Amino acid sequence: MFPSAHVDPFTRDRLPPLADWPTLLLDRPEHQYPAQLNCVSELLDARRTPEWGARPCFIGANTTWSYAETAAMVDRIAHVLVDRLGLVPGQRVLLRAPNSPMLAATYLAIMKAGGVVVATMPLLRAAELRPVVAKAQVHLALCDPRLVDALTDIRDEDSALQRIVTFGDADGELESYLPSAPEHFTACPTASDDVCLLGFTSGTTGTPKATMHFHRDVLAIARAYGAHVLRAHADDRFIGSPPLAFTFGLGGLVIFPLAVGASSVLLERLPPDELLTAIARHRATITFTAPTAYRAMAAKARDHDLSSLRVCVSAGETLPKATLDAWHDATGITLQDGIGATELLHIFIGSPVDQVRPGATGRVVPGYEARIVDTDGHVLPDGTAGHLEVRGPTGCRYLDDERQRAYVRNGWNRTGDTFLRDADGYFWYQARSDDMITASGYAIAGPEVEQALLLHPAVAECAVVGAVHEDRTTTVAAYVVLRDGIAADDGLTRALQEHVKSTIAPYKYPRIVRYLDALPKTPTGKVQRSVLRQWG
């Protein structure tokens, strides 16, 4: 490792032992990084020229910032952090706000000043924030005024949190300091392997895991997925629904556009109907959202002018072929599926639009390697389902967590997903490894049953899990959200079961079908199958 610029050594002191790190693949020319590197200086300061300065960078609900204006705002915030709030390199700063240009600028300013961002989902409550603050030993939080109460609730004698500064509107404390702050800030001379962000996993049980990412990791995802798969250019305009606290959103709405000098639309909340409207209004060309959103939007896409769109990225959940087909039928655009992980920062398997194979997640992103192994780590032949293992220029480093050794095995990141690879190198998602259902002696992938159900015209959304009975046997259970105007009854249940039997192997059909108004989901839009399994 290189000499650190961090005055506060908290994160470096809590990196896992080097022997427990994944093997990092840094031999490609684009992944040669200098000892000293500040990712924000690389992404933003290079655009502070007459050629780039006037181009739009971040677009909000009521404002548009050029690259010059964005760079000046980032630098003013960095000055406030250091000069008024006492930030020292290596200190963790919690961010809590909905998507906006100001949130993006604040995120960038913390990293430019040498701080470590701990971004949190706006929907988290005090009970969920408390372990994050404790694990990251957060002393300073920057928070939207509307979301302060949950942080105030955990400021007690047992909490590390010492100060909460509001931002995001004209009355914010941070905003009150900005007029007197200089608009030029010299980037902290961080090492390329200094931690710049802690991404907390979106798991629903147990102590949260904090993934540690370096300045070079931020550039690595732009030089890997961004350059080789997304292939964006300066005239693109990005938009999407994932929060910036979700690394899928950070990459798709901040890192990738900045890397090519493009612009990004950052709006507080974009459910499917509003995302369609915003795409048309802002003439967006690239969108990032989850499969469930694309499925909902497909039904209404023809009511909106989506002619500006050229790239649509889907991640966060498996992409059913039925959703891919519905979106293509409605828009003529082929969705680009992808799988990533908070532990690796962004997508590591996914194909460019001209190489998409419908139903497959895609090929490995250049710079990464992937393989399929059995439980003991033996490589399996093509066409055989097993555990997905990945390595590349980014990889898992949990902050002070014994679970590091479960995720990293023999230098590979074992993601917890079951895949198979075909002879052409395409990876086909089967299930989360803990979502494989063993029923009546058969191994059944829940997502395969879900894809079959989604082909039925009555089904809007669904999730399939294993329901465990008192006698410890397991049955395939489907939780179904119906389309508007369709009533649930025994006849529909039988029709759905027969539909699955006629679509995939009959033994995979759901013996149990339960109807819900909405599926339980995490703040990032992932279906909480663990909750459904508890319901039985």
pLDDT over 80 (residue 468): no
- Classify residue 118 as left (phi > 0), alpha (psi -120 to 50) or beta: beta
Q: Is 129 helix (H, G, I), strand (E, B) or coil?
A: helix
pLDDT at 298 over 70: yes
CA 178 – CA 165 distance, rounded (Å): 13
Smallest CA-to-CA distance from 393 within 217, 210, 196, 517 is with: 217
Tokens coding 134 = 């404790």
Give yes or no for residue 525 having a pLDDT over 80: no
pLDDT at 317: 78
Secondary structure of 431-487 as H, E, C letters: EEHHHEEEECCEEEEHHHHHHHHHCCCCEEEEEEEEEECCCCCEEEEEEEEECCCCC
- Please write the tens of the pLDDT for every residue from 122-147: 888 888 899 999 999 999 999 999 99
- Digit-coded pLDDT (tens) for 21-38: 999 999 999 999 999 999
Look at residues 365, 383, 395, 385 and name the one whose alpha carbon lies nearest to residue 431.
385
Kindly indicate the confidence band of residue 157, based on its pLDDT and cuts at 50, 70 and 90.
low
3-state secondary structure 60-127: CCCCEEEHHHHHHHHHHHHHHHHHHCCCCCCCEEEEECCCCHHHHHHHHHHHHCCCEEEEECCCCCHH
Contact yes or no for 520/292 (Cβ under 8 A): no
Q: Answer yes or no: is pLDDT of 469 > 90.
A: no
**Residues 104/252, Cβ–Cβ less than 8 Å:** no
Q: SS3 for 279?
A: helix
CA dist., res. 132 & res. 16, Å (int):
18
Residue 443, pLDDT above cutoff 70: no
pLDDT tens sequence across 159-169:
899 999 999 99
Q: What's the gap between Cα 274 and its chain centre?
A: 20
pLDDT for residue 529: 83
Of 24, 38, 40, which is closest to residue 74 (Cα–Cα)?
Answer: 40
Q: Give all domains of the chain, ordered by start, each with its CATH number.
A: 38-55+63-189 (3.40.50.980), 440-535 (3.30.300.30)
Nearest to 413 by CA among 359, 364, 355: 364
Cβ atoms 123, 129 nearer than 8 A: no
